[in-house]
Amino acid sequence: MLIKKPSDVWSSDITPRATYLRRRDFLAALVTLPITGRMVTTTDALTPRQAVTSYTNYYEFGSDKGAATTNGGAFKASPWSVTIAGECAKPGTYTLEDILKPHPLEERVYRMRCVEGWSMVIPWDGFPLANLLKRFEPNAKAKFVEFTTANRPQEMPGIRRHVLNFPYVEALRMDEAMHPLTILAAGLYGDTLLTQNGAPLRLVVPWKYGFKSIKSIVKIRFVEKQPLNTWQDANPAYYGFYANVNPDVSTPSYSQATERRIGEFFMRRTLPFNGYADQVASMYTGMDPKRLY
């Protein structure tokens, strides 16, 4: 059940739940998630569900924003399992149920910012990644956590076109992975994830550019050395490891100072750490902000 306190800033009042529930045809295929709590980190209006589920980046299905919606039909998000490997006491392969069951889902309303200059506000349904990682008892050598996406050329036509070196890989430093704002999401807007949003399980790291939020995770590995993430491999001049949202550091072809919130007309100023500086900036004290991009 959704616990709704009257004091909550219920930002979806701007996009009432009834509005998206009206899309019955579409929702018929989805499973409504049991959500036990909620956390609102912004008073900004939610991005309409229609935009969140149709305007996506998922290169395994193609490079345009509609590709994963159009070409996602063959993708099977069930059954699913996740392999846990590397520097921990309990490596192994866990079913999606093993992964989800001990961790009640809560709704987290997060701002998301893409390096291409657009942003959204999305009500994710997930749980803190830290709670899951602790179960595998990472050891002292575990300095980073690496995530890998499914690599199924038969089901993911973008892989066959080799736009990137697949499988897609992303990673976080251990403290970032353990930060309470970092979640694994299994749904959004109260329903299980659609293929294009990373079904059945994806990462959400709201103070970083969107590419860090890896979709359809099949492997989590604890490692000692900083992994090479897919986008850094593809274009090291453009993409860094940390990818913290920073309005003061431009990419070679885009200023990162402003963003277009999907559905809005005027540009917004981009906030350092995407507005989450109070909660995360202390993890980076003493580091060169340019390296953090």
Ligand X SMILES: Nc1nc2c(c(=O)[nH]1)N[C@H]1C(S)=C(S)[C@@H](COP(=O)(O)O)O[C@H]1N2
CB of 216 to ligand X, least distance (A): 6
Separation of alpha carbons 90 and 209, rounded Å: 31
Using CB positions, name the residue nearest to ligand X.
210
Is residue 88 near ligand X by the rule CB under 6 A? no
Whose CA is closest to 39, among 132, 126, 100? 126
CB of 235 to Mo ion, least distance (A): 13
Q: Would you give the distance in Å from CA 7 to the centre of its chain? A: 28
Helix, strand or coil, per DSSP, at residue 85: strand
Answer for the pair 274, 207: CB distance below 8 angstroms, yes or no.
yes
Is residue 168 near ligand X by the rule CB under 6 A? yes
Binding-site string for ligand X from residue 121 to residue 140, where x marks contact by CB under 6 A and - marks none: --------------------
CB of 4 to Mo ion, least distance (A): 31
Tokens representing 231 are 């986008």
Q: Which ranges in 154-272 belong to alpha helices (H)?
A: 174-177, 230-234
270 binds, among ligand X, Mo ion, none (CB under 5 to 8 A by kind): none
CB of 112 to Mo ion, least distance (A): 9
Is residue 114 near Mo ion by the rule CB under 5 A? yes
CB of 8 to Mo ion, least distance (A): 29
Answer for the pair 95, 79: CB distance below 8 angstroms, yes or no.
yes
Q: How many residues bind ligand X (CB under 6 A)?
A: 17
Separation of alpha carbons 97 and 99, rounded Å: 5
Separation of alpha carbons 173 and 176, rounded Å: 5
Binding-site string for Mo ion from residue 199 to residue 238, where x marks contact by CB under 5 A and - marks none: -----------xx---------------------------
Is residue 211 near ligand X by the rule CB under 6 A? yes
Interface residues with Mo ion (CB under 5 A) are 57, 114, 210-211
